[in-house]
Amino acid sequence: MIKVGVIGAGFIGKQHIEALGRISGVKIVAITDNNLSNLEVLQQNGVCERIYTDFNEMLDKEELDAIHNCTPTNVHFAVNKKAIQKNLHIYSEKPLVKELDEAKELIEMLDGKKLITGVNFNYRTNLLVQEMHEVVKSEAFGRPLFVQGEYLQDWLMFDTDYDWRMDTTIGGASRALADIGSHCFDIMEYVISKKITSVNAKLFKVHEKRKRYEGVGTFSQVSSADEEYTELIVQNEDGGVIQVEFEGGLIGSFVISQVSAGKKNGLKINISGEKEALEWKQEQSDRLWIGHRDKGNEEVFADAKYVSQGAKKFATLPNGHPVGWHDALTNGIRAFYEAIENKDYDGPKPFATFADGYHIMKVVAACLESDKKKVWIDIQ
Report the C-alpha gap between 17 and 331 in whole angstroms.
Answer: 14
Q: Which of 67, 82, 115 is the last residue of a domain?
A: 115
Q: Is residue 96 part of a domain?
A: yes
CATH code for the domain of 365:
3.30.360.10
φ, ψ at 75 (rounded to 5°): -100, -15
Q: Tell me the CA end-to-end span of the chain in Å, nearest whole number.
A: 41
Per-residue model confidence as pLDDT tens digits over 126-178: 999 999 999 999 999 999 999 999 999 999 999 999 998 999 999 999 999 99
- Let me know whether 240 and 134 are in one domain: yes
- Domain co-membership, 183 together with 85: no
Residue 34 exposed, middle or buried by CB count within 10 Å (0-12, 13-18, 19+): middle
Q: What is the pLDDT of residues 285-310, one digit of tens each?
A: 999 999 999 999 999 999 899 999 99
The 10s digit of each residue's pLDDT in 189-246 is 999 999 999 999 999 999 999 998 876 666 566 655 667 889 999 999 999 999 999 9
Task: Give the chain's domain count.
Answer: 2
Nearest CA to 241 out of 147, 177, 174 is that of 177
Residue 318 binned pLDDT confidence (cut-offs 50, 70, 90): confident
Could you give the CA distance from residue 18 to residue 6 in angstroms, rounded to a whole number? 11
Q: Examine residue 333 and state whether it is found in any structural domain, yes or no.
A: no
Q: Domain boundary residue among 91, 115, 139? A: 115
**32 is in which domain, residue-wise?**
2-115
What's the CATH number where 22 sits? 3.40.50.720
Residue 323 has what pLDDT? Answer: 84
- Among 83, 115, 39, 131, which residue's Cα sits nearest to residue 331? 131
Q: Are residues 129 and 255 in the same domain?
A: yes
- Nearest-CA neighbor of 125 among 305, 327, 339, 355? 327
Name the amino acid, one letter, at 259.
Answer: V
